[in-house]
Amino acid sequence: MNEIPYEGLTPDVMLAAVESVGFVPNGRMLALNSYENRVYQIGTEDGFVVVKFYRPGRWSNEALAEEHEFALELASHEIPVVPPLVIDGKTLHEHAGYRFALYERRGGRWPELADSSEWIQMGRFLGRIHAVGAVRPFRARPTLAPAEIARSAAKTVLEGGWLPEHLVDSYRTITAQLVARLEQRLEETGRYRVLRIHGDCHRGNVLWTDAGPHFVDLDDCVNGPAVQDLWLFLSGSREEMTGQLADLLEGYEEFASFDARELRLVEVLRTARLIHYSAWITQRWADPAFPRAFPWIAENKYWEEHVLTLKEQLAALDEPPLPV
């Protein structure tokens, strides 16, 4: 695999890829926000189409097919997601070594979630997605494993030489403590339901229109607990998050049941995400988009603050879950 994954993805290659599946591009191109993949809005003689070029080596063809099948399944239930276009019976295409899919252009705005009615509406949306997601599991996509994610990510950072020398021992110690605590919390929670979920469900991945919310990307969908698609929306004080959660669940439980035991997993999942996020950036550093977007990760100050955050997270794991 090319160490610089998109080095050969020139504008000519992109336009030729779109043309290869029957569209006639007019040369207008607009890069859309994406780091893992490369996503562009391409002008055509009939309007616009969105094309997503998948990061080489990240997902197998089978895993990409499951993402597309899930999106199409949700759309068939009139759930507002944007599925890939089916062209000649296919959703996944290849050109010049790059796999890609095409989508309709859909607009929307950042979801403000300004009042209870919008939180309840978001909950309904997520409940409908999970009602479909619970029908059967993914086979080619992984199951979310927080302790293993945290362990692997910490190993990546330690072996990558990113930490200032004076922080290496502190980082090694705190991440080992966190992994041990995650395993303990998971054991205490016991077995929980696993279903097909969005996986990276936060406001930045949702567009809101007058008709309500919709997702435009299921790139990180996995098997996992329902709460993974809920907790990232919560913010503010504990009192504020309690109110937000109550509204979310009011809408959610109109379409799907929620096991309150999963709230014990919120800080577990947050911990895994915190450790993984830094490791993810370091793993992608050879991609020129990452040094441009995340220059601060090469600074000592970032790692000092990161270690402090992880120490605070160790205490957060001992706090009681949000009430329902």
Are the beta carbons of 171 and 203 closer than 8 angstroms? Answer: no
Which DSSP state fits 143? B
DSSP code string of 176-208: HHHHHHHHHHHHHH-----EEE-SS-SGGGEEE
CB of 133 closer than 8 Å to CB of 195: yes
CA angle in degrees (0–180, nearest 5) for 128-132-135: 145
Structure tokens at 174: 């705190």
Contact between 130 and 226 under an 8 Å Cβ cutoff? The reply is yes
- Write down the catalytic residue from 169, 200, 219, 220: 200
Helix, strand or coil for residue 100?
strand
* Residue 220: active-site member: no
N- to C-terminal Cα separation, the chain: 48
Q: How far apart are CA 285 and CA 154, in angstroms?
A: 16
Q: Is 200 a catalytic residue?
A: yes
CA-nearest of 231, 242, 212 to 273 is 231
Q: Three-state SS for 50?
A: strand
Specify whether the CB–CB gap between 47 and 35 falls below 8 A.
no
Which residue of the set 88, 217, 219, 259 is catalytic?
217
Phi first, then psi, for residue 71 (nearest 5°) are -60, -45
Write out the catalytic residue numbers: 200, 217
